[in-house]
Amino acid sequence: MNDANAAKALEPARLPWQDLPVRPVGAGFQMLSGFVVLDLTTSIAGPYATMLLSDFGAEVIKVERPNGDDARHWGPPFLEGHSLWFTAVNRNKKSVVLDLGCAEGQAQFRALLQRADVLVCNQPLDVQRKLGIDHETLRALKSDLVFVSITGFGLDGERADLTCYDLIAEGYSGIMDITGEADGRPQKIGAPAADMLAGQDAAMAAVVALLARERTGEGAKIDISLAESMTRFLACRISSYLGSGEIPARSGGTDSVIAIYQSFETADGLLLNLGLGSDAIWKRFWAAVGDPQYAARPEFSTNARRRAHRSEIVADIQAILRTRTRAQWLEIFANSRVPAGPINRVDETAHDLAFQQRGLFFTLQDGTQQVPQVGLGIRIDGQSATPRAAPPRLGEHTASILATLAKRKTAQGEPS
């Protein structure tokens, strides 16, 4: 091996994020500009909620314990010392380290509270009360505060004191029992679904409460439950059970109210998903595969009739789809307006050019720091959200924010 090859062999392997489009920090969306959010949460659901608010322009001050957000320690993998789970849900924020267990930390927190429009916490109610961050205590200090609590089972009810993670919430909701192969064990969704859904609910509720406050001047108490957010995700399946008495069962993703709504294998062994969700799509599909007479068979004329003959139809479609590659079928179905798509691996999704072009995946450039990000996924007036800052280092903004508070007190003639 020559010197050049030897040097190349010693170079670190290129990581996937280094192939993403680079986006510098910018002003971003400004719809919530001027609103201040105190984020006292850890892990995923709460930080995701406050990151959503930050993506729309809110200033988020992340109040952390001396050892930081739990998610800072989740790994490997780490990137330049940062947990990638943490960096996924904490962009745009300012990190302030406070010890709420001591008098000085409480005084600093209460000074910050006077600046805040929204406070988000995810501690159980007994811990909220112990730290003085429960709704009753904070409302007495700031009546127009929008208070958002995210817990496993809510602030009241027989399960209020139980501890909870995403996995536990998924089990309570019923989603695990209908996820997986028919003859297999129940499966968790392959992402923290309850956390992400609860985070979205918290952000949405906070914005609605801020709108109401503009009219009434009053704050609000928002109570978000991981288990309830996850359960609402099953609204269509639960409603179907309540109205029919039929209990949904695991089926490997093949069971749906839509007769043909599942994956199929193609000639190159790759899978594609196919959803024939209306009579018109049913007819377009059979025209696309060259057998319009099949669509016209009276026993298949409605979705209900197709469900009665599902196994026969699935076998016929599977035989046809094995005659061409996935890419060939996807082109045919796209041209015929038949809903179809691949089952991507995570790496295939992350490098999907269509997603990248719409701003969903990028490497954020903040000064000398670069960090991979998954974008907001919401475009407004043709624009996607541009982050204002990379996820903060622990306590990165403590000195500057506390100094600002001290200056304010001095200007108002209060003892610092």
pLDDT category at 2 given cuts 50, 70, 90 is low
Tokens of residue 184, six digits: 């297999």
Fold held by 261-348: formyl-coa transferase, domain 3 (3.30.1540)
Tokens of residue 302, six digits: 């409605």
Count of Cβ atoms closer than 10 Å to residue 389 Cβ: 20
Residues of the chain with CATH 3.30.1540.10: 261-348
Q: Give pLDDT tens digits for 280-319.
A: 999 999 999 999 999 999 999 999 999 999 999 999 999 9
Structural domain 3-235+358-411, CATH architecture: 3-Layer(aba) Sandwich (3.40)
pLDDT category at 413 given cuts 50, 70, 90 is low
Torsion of Cα atoms, 157 then 159 then 160 then 166, to 10°:
-130
Count of Cβ atoms closer than 10 Å to residue 312 Cβ: 12
Residues 6+ apart with CB under 8 A from 113: 38, 119, 138, 141, 142, 145
End-to-end CA distance of the chain: 67
Residues of the chain with CATH 3.40.50.10540: 3-235+358-411
Please report, for residues 152, 286, 299, the alpha-carbon distance to residue 296 in angstroms, rounded to integers and kept in the order given. 51, 9, 9
Q: Give pLDDT tens digits for 48-85.
A: 999 999 999 999 999 999 999 999 999 999 999 999 99
pLDDT category at 214 given cuts 50, 70, 90 is very high
Contact between residue 47 and residue 39 where contact means Cβ atoms under 8 Å apart? yes
Q: Give 322's DSSP letter.
A: T
Outline where DSSP puts E strands in 320-404. Answer: 340-342, 361-366, 369-374, 379-380, 383-384
Contact between residue 336 and residue 283 where contact means Cβ atoms under 8 Å apart? no
H or E, element range at 173: helix 166-173
Tokens of residue 156, six digits: 């009241």
Is residue 223 flagged as an active site residue? no
DSSP lists the bridge partners of residue 61 as 38, 94
H or E, element range at 313: helix 310-321
Q: Which of 195, 201, 268, 316 is catalytic?
A: 195
* Maximum alpha-carbon separation in the chain: 86
